């Protein structure tokens, strides 16, 4: 089950997005974190990292999604939600493979040019049909200029 959960966490990272929508943020050094919880599974530790966002890539999608090439490589699909000022919504789905379960994630993120916070609802389904639901809390803030 542990490998199933770790694969789900990887799937979540992939399901978090693509570069289809372009939601402007301020370039600079960002601190981003997420905390994923899966039903019936021991809590996973929060992850946190710093990301340098350059002016030509200053979008919310750059912070929460893998590159478009990685997204496509895993066969993931992306469906943006209705556009609203300060709110980003999207649904993503990545199919199951021999190494990872399939993941469907619905995200709703409130954002400003210098911060964001939101929640993702996850459904993880292995090839054998086992389904686990979970959620992920996403946060980020601009902390300064890139080094």
- Residue 53 has phi, psi (to 5 degrees) of -105, 120
* Domain extent listing, the chain: 2-144
Residue 1 is predicted with a pLDDT of 43
For 103, counting Cβ atoms within 10 Å of its Cβ (0-12 exposed, 13-18 middle, 19+ buried), the class is: buried
Residue 38 is predicted with a pLDDT of 93
Cβ atoms within 10 Å, residue 10: 16
Residue 22 is predicted with a pLDDT of 66
**Positive or negative torsion for Cα 121, 18, 42, 115:** negative
Q: pLDDT 10s per residue in the chain (147 long)?
A: 444 443 444 444 444 433 344 688 999 999 999 999 999 888 889 999 999 999 999 989 888 877 778 878 888 888 888 888 999 999 999 998 888 899 999 999 999 999 999 999 999 998 888 899 999 999 999 999 999
- d(Cα 15, Cα 9) in Å, to the nearest integer? 10
DSSP character at residue 145: -
């Amino acid at each position: 089950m542990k490998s199933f959960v770790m694969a789900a966490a990887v799937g979540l990272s992939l399901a978090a997005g693509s570069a289809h929508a372009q939601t402007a943020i301020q370039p600079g050094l960002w601190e981003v974190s997420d905390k994923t919880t899966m039903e019936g599974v021991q809590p996973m530790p929060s992850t946190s990292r710093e990301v340098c966002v350059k002016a030509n890539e200053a979008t919310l999608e750059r912070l929460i999604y893998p590159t478009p090439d990685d997204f496509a490589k895993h066969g993931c699909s992306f469906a943006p939600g209705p556009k609203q000022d300060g709110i980003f919504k999207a649904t993503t789905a990545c199919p199951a493979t021999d190494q990872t379960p399939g993941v469907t994630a619905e995200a709703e993120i409130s954002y400003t040019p210098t911060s964001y916070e939101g929640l993702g609802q996850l459904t993880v389904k292995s090839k054998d049909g086992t389904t686990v639901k979970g959620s992920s809390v996403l946060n980020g803030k601009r902390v300064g200029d890139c080094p």
